[in-house]
Structure 1
Amino acid sequence: MALHKICLLGGTGFVGKRLAARLSAAGHDIVILTRRAVRHRDLLVLPTARLVEGDVHDAEFLRQQFEGKDTVINLIGILNEKGRSGKGFTRAHAELPEKVVQACRETGVSRLLHMSALHAARTAPSHYLRTKALGEEVVHRAEGPDFHVTSFRPSVIFGPGDGFLNRFAGLLRLAPGAFPLACPGARFQPVYVEDVVRVFADSLDNHKTFGKRYDLCGPKVYTLREIVEYVAQLLGKRVCVIGLPAGLSWLQAAMLEFAPGKPFSLDNYRSLQVDSVCEKGFPEVFGVMPASLEEIAPMYLAKYQPHSS
């Protein structure tokens, strides 16, 4: 395996930290871009990684950091934005990939790995999915003899430190006995974070992946209600999950848009109208047998159980 000089965008996030650890363990030289290096000093223990502070939306900063690199990995994405205009999604998911591609061209970077989203499409109902599609199109238009792109489109990603199961676990722990759930019939095929980072790392030198887009899902499909009830079971929490009809789901999203941290938004509601489920199994080219929710979740949700508090 060849060793690479990699610039990693989004390397301080849930997926990014695990990918940085895997790449560093393999001996790759990694520069991780961040707005505030002091918040992510834990990454400094990685022997071949270093943090560089700056604004990834600054084209000149990107050119400086891409200089001398052969690979760029872009994991940056947001689930919600300030306001409702869609401009935040456009900036993060469409405009940034365009800047990344341009900086790659100007500095001679030959490989780009890009994080998209399952069922990203221009015709999708949410800003999130539409702008993810625009970014994906931008990077794949740049594919050529001297510049090779691979994009990944995961369903919801789970694992220790995730913002999915952990969020429901925290809410359920405080639930008084009833838990109103928006969009209870929305379907997901959760994929384990370590399976996601493995395919990113394994695709670096795999010519079969050049120019390809891969849907990434776990082995099993669940409704949102089934996931929440499973989390409650793991917590030993007796709670009645009350599935809200479409109108009340919309109303809950409209109200929570203004709650601190924006835990649920109308754009999230619109995204949930598209089932996050793969049409096929895990891509055979990677030789991965994806881990199931039942194999992994009990290990990291145990902290929410009464005896763990």
Structure 2
Amino acid sequence: MRELKVVVFGGNGFIGSHLIGQLVGEGVRVVVPTRRPERAGALAMLPGVQVVAADIGKDDLVPLLQGADAAINLVGVLHSRRAKPYGPQFRHAHVDIPRRIVAACAAAGVPRYLHMSALGADSDGPSMYQRSKADGEVAARAEPTVAATIFRPSVVFGPGDNFLNMFAKMQAFLPLVPLACADAQFQPIYVGDVARAFINALKDPKTRQQVYALGGPSIYTLAELVRLSGRYAHHQRPVIGLPAALGRLQAALFELLPGDPLMSRDNLDSMAHDNVIDPAIQALTAATLGIKLTALEAVAPGYLSPHDRFDDFRARAGR
């Protein structure tokens, strides 16, 4: 790949850190706008990475994008106040910010825009999250001079994730796990494979104006994923599936606690439909991008197990 300059919005998050690491390995120059540059110190130490203080929801983005070959948007949130069709946090992160970035790309002459959406994005979907993600895809295509490529991943796992790690930590101190939507299905995909999908699409002009559904090699119920995370962390607890009404009450109580809830009613609404790639729909997938998918069982034990993490550290230290 010739030397490219790419601006990565939301680059100091879980997926962004993995993606930027791979971009650097490809010799790409990366600009990472963030409101809190002090939290992106690890990224700033990578060769070819420039961390810039910016509020992407308010500041003029055109100067950031001058001379860039592409913009990548990873900004997303999982929770918002309830409203129709979705709350203000979802509107800001999933709709307004993509619209601002794409408009700035058009003004700066940036020809490519790679957009992180979500599997299940649907303007008529049961959850605010799904509806806002669908409207974000519309915003991603708003400028005819900017070719958008859209990615719809299922839940993403890997070192630093907030999914398997959350369930592993819960089982470290809970005697059992009462679980809403225990039978909901997911097709989790490894964060390194998601990063590679972005990079391969960036290399290939044929991916312009395309939508890619990203799922891993296996499908699991939520209960199976909770059990696996507990097993790999050596704290496996019994998982008790909750009836729908009780699960909804649990989520409503979680929403009253300070901070982001472990589970919200909108999360439950999202799980009304299985989060898997429908084989009846001939969607473009990671395989289309030449990616050999990584199994969850090959990666998750290495970052969930404290023993395996220590063994890995010793191996790297040559001890």
The two structures share one fold, judged by TM-score above 0.5: yes
The match for 2:300 is 297
The match for 1:226 is 224
Shift of 1:239: 2.0
Opposite residue 70 of structure 2, the aligned amino acid is T
Q: Which runs of 5+ in 2 are unaligned?
A: 312-319
Contact 2:168–2:235 (CA under 8 A) maintained in structure 1 = no
Shift of 1:242: 0.6
Q: CA–CA distance in 2 between the matches of 1:59 and 1:237?
A: 46
Opposite residue 16 of structure 1, the aligned amino acid is G
**Residues 230-275 of structure 1 deviation map (CA, whole Å, 9 limit, x = unaligned):** 2222233352211001001100110001123222111111111121
Q: CA–CA distance in 2 between the matches of 1:65 and 1:30?
A: 11
Contact 1:152–1:215 (CA under 8 A) maintained in structure 2 = yes
RMSD: 1.7
The match for 1:253 is 251
Report which stretch shifted further, 183-192 or 253-262. 253-262
Does residue 72 of structure 2 align to residue 69 of structure 1? no
Q: CA–CA distance in 1 between the matches of 2:98 and 2:273?
A: 24
Q: CA–CA distance in 1 between the matches of 2:78 and 2:130?
A: 10
Q: CA–CA distance in 1 between the matches of 2:225 and 2:236?
A: 15
The match for 2:2 is 2
Shift of 1:205: 2.7
Q: CA–CA distance in 1 between the matches of 2:305 and 2:286?
A: 31
What is the TM-score normalised by the length of structure 2? 0.91
Contact 2:197–2:286 (CA under 8 A) maintained in structure 1 = no
The match for 2:272 is 273
- The residue correspondences of 1:71-150 to structure 2 (distance < 5 A) are 71-81=70-80, 83-85=81-83, 86-142=87-143, 144=144, 146-150=145-149
Contact 1:110–1:148 (CA under 8 A) maintained in structure 2 = yes
Contact 2:234–2:305 (CA under 8 A) maintained in structure 1 = no
Q: CA–CA distance in 1 between the matches of 2:107 and 2:194?
A: 29
Partner SS for 1:257: helix
Q: Which runs of 5+ in 1 are unaligned?
A: none
Shift of 1:2: 2.1
- The residue correspondences of 1:201-216 to structure 2 (distance < 5 A) are 201-216=199-214
Shift of 1:285: 2.6
Query: What is the total number of aligned residue pairs between the two structures?
Result: 302
Q: CA–CA distance in 2 between the matches of 1:301 and 1:43?
A: 23
Identity percentage of aligned residues:
41
What is the TM-score normalised by the length of structure 1? 0.93
- The residue correspondences of 1:20-39 to structure 2 (distance < 5 A) are 20-39=20-39
Partner SS for 1:204: helix
Q: CA–CA distance in 2 between the matches of 1:185 and 1:107?
A: 47
